[in-house]
């Protein structure tokens, strides 16, 4: 399984976003994780499609847009047209609208030729998204409650990752991307990979480091 490190620009200084993207290119990041928050699904508001549009010309790395928003269908067009490579949406935001909304949203993302993924919070059993694994290019297991960077890793995420990887293998998709997000450090990344994650989001660990390239390499090794 190829391990990919996905620094989250949530931890960047938003007044220097262009510089942050260039630093991530140089530091060996594999993916750029864009945390989109709407002030409703989660308390803070971060940014929308315009940010993705503006950073798109600054990097060839895939832009992984994690939508922590209500009614995600309404925003897919903007992120797809802005140049997102993959868009992930929360089971919790979709399921409160209707039982079919998650599948419809994933299909909508794919209709733009963009990869898609489903996300579960730490208190949502990953089994809830098994029915849409067939559509997903990636699944995202939250290891903190979404909303803020710099939180502590919730260890039950390891069990969720194992279940997700086992199910992917069972359906003949053993090489599926399984992403983990929240509280990843050099100390816990070994257990996280052993549990089955191969796309590793890291916000504060990368941005607070004095040597971003060395930290990314250490998380990857
Ligand atoms: C949390 C976000 C995460 C966050 C991770 O709501 O989805 O992507 O930036 O930050 P760290 O790595 O600092 O926990
Ligand atoms: Zn995220």
Q: Provide the CATH number for the domain around residue 31.
A: 3.20.20.70
Regarding the beta carbon of 10 and ligand 1, being less than 6 Å apart is answered yes
pLDDT tens, residue by residue, 135-183: 999 999 999 999 999 999 999 999 999 999 999 999 999 999 999 999 9
Q: How many CB atoms lie within 10 A of CB 134?
A: 10
Nearest to 18 by CA among 61, 58, 63: 58
pLDDT at res. 160? 98
The total number of structural domains in the chain stands at 1
In this structure, what token pair is assigned to residue 69?
A: 């928003």
What range does the domain containing 57 cover? 4-220
| Residue from 11, 34, 143, 149 to probe ligand 1 pocket by mutation (most atoms less than 8 Å from CB) | 149
Distance CA 199, CA 210 (A): 23
Regarding the beta carbon of 132 and ligand 1, being less than 6 Å apart is answered no
pLDDT band at 203 (very low <50, low <70, confident <90, very high): very high
Residues 6+ apart with CB under 8 A from 111: none
pLDDT band at 47 (very low <50, low <70, confident <90, very high): very high
Sheet of 86-90, strands arranged across: 4-7, 199-202, 177-181, 138-142, 115-120, 86-90, 63-68, 32-37
Query: Does the annotation count 13 as an active-site position?
Result: no
Q: How far is the CA of 50 from the centre of ligand 2 (A)?
A: 18
Regarding the beta carbon of 204 and ligand 1, being less than 6 Å apart is answered yes
């Amino acid at each position: 399984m190829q391990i990919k490190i996905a620094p989250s620009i949530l931890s960047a200084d938003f007044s220097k976003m262009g510089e942050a993207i260039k630093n991530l290119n140089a530091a060996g990041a594999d993916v750029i994780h864009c945390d989109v928050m709407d002030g409703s699904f989660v308390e803070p508001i971060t940014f929308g499609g315009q940010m993705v549009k503006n950073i798109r010309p600054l990097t060839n790395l895939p832009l992984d847009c994690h939508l922590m928003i209500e009614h995600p269908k309404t925003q897919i067009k903007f992120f797809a047209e802005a140049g997102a490579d993959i868009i992930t949406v929360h089971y919790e935001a979709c399921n409160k609208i209707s039982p079919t909304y998650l599948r419809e949203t994933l299909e909508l993302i794919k209709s733009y030729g963009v990869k898609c993924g489903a996300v579960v919070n730490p208190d949502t059993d990953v089994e809830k998204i098994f029915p849409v694994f067939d559509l997903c290019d990636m699944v995202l297991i939250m290891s903190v409650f979404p909303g803020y960077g710099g939180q502590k890793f919730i260890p039950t995420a390891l069990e969720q990752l194992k279940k997700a990887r086992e199910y992917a293998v069972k359906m003949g998709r053993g090489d599926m991307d399984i992403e983990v997000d929240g509280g990843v450090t050099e100390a816990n990344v070994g257990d996280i990979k052993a549990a089955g994650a191969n796309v590793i989001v890291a916000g504060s660990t990368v941005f607070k480091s004095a040597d971003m390239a060395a930290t990314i390499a250490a998380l990857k090794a």
